């Protein structure tokens, strides 16, 4: 039987950079990202007894962090807490994975990977900041957080066709901005 012990004393050293980079691409605010990572560690400490070892410690912390990010967006949306959000944790075909695929695995880092990872995170953050607010919100909700179209439309009070126009414009602007500022 495998040992399912986790060591929270090592979490900051092992996972804080990865969790922060993961979060900053989703919330685009350093203070909020730091708060969400801290909340994740606290929630992990409180629920350590529930860790079954079915996933790695990092994957378990990411699943907690994803819920914290969802809660953050629920709080700032007009229909607070009413949206039901579905996240595919390991769905390789979902939109938005292109961001995750470019984030280096912290266990397989070289100095160049670390530099590129930081540069990409900064470029994404800067490009999101250049989008009009509604485009940035729709882009984050659809592409990064994988919200369903219906949930986004209900949360923002827009039609599905309007959402697709906004997301197309946001993706085009992000691609152009990243091409100029990162590639």
Average confidence (pLDDT) over 128-156? 87
100 — pLDDT class (breaks 50, 70, 90): very low
- Parse the chain into domains and list their residue ranges: 8-87, 111-182
Of 81, 103, 92, 86, which Cα lies nearest the Cα of 20?
A: 103
Its CATH class, for the domain covering 8-87, is mainly alpha
Around Cβ 179, how many Cβ atoms within 10 Å?
11
Rounded to a whole number of angstroms, the CA Rg of the chain reads 17
74 — pLDDT class (breaks 50, 70, 90): confident
Residues 76 and 27: beta-carbon distance below 8 Å: no
**137, pLDDT greater than 80:** yes
Its CATH class, for the domain covering 111-182, is mainly alpha
| Contacts of 161 by beta carbon, 8 Å cutoff, 6+ apart | none
183 — pLDDT class (breaks 50, 70, 90): low
Specify the higher pLDDT residue, 25 or 121.
Answer: 25
2 — pLDDT class (breaks 50, 70, 90): very low
């Amino acid at each position: 039987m495998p040992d399912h012990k986790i060591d929270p004393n090592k979490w900051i050293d092992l996972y804080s950079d990865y969790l922060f980079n993961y979060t900053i691409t989703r919330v685009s605010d350093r203070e909020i990202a730091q708060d969400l990572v801290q909340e994740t560690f606290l929630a992990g400490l409180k629920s350590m007894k529930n860790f079954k070892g079915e996933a790695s410690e990092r994957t378990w912390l990411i699943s907690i962090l994803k819920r914290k990010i969802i809660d953050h967006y629920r709080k700032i949306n007009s229909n607070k807490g009413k949206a039901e959000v579905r996240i595919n944790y390991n769905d390789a075909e979902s939109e938005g994975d292109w961001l995750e695929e470019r984030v280096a695995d912290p266990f397989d880092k070289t100095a160049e990977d670390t530099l590129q990872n930081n540069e990409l995170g900064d470029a994404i953050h800067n490009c999101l900041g250049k989008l009009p607010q509604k485009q940035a919100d729709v882009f984050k909700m659809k592409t990064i957080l994988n919200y369903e179209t219906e949930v986004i439309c209900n949360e923002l009070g827009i039609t599905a066709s309007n959402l697709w126009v906004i997301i197309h414009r946001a993706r085009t602007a992000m691609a152009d901005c990243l091409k100029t500022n990162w590639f």
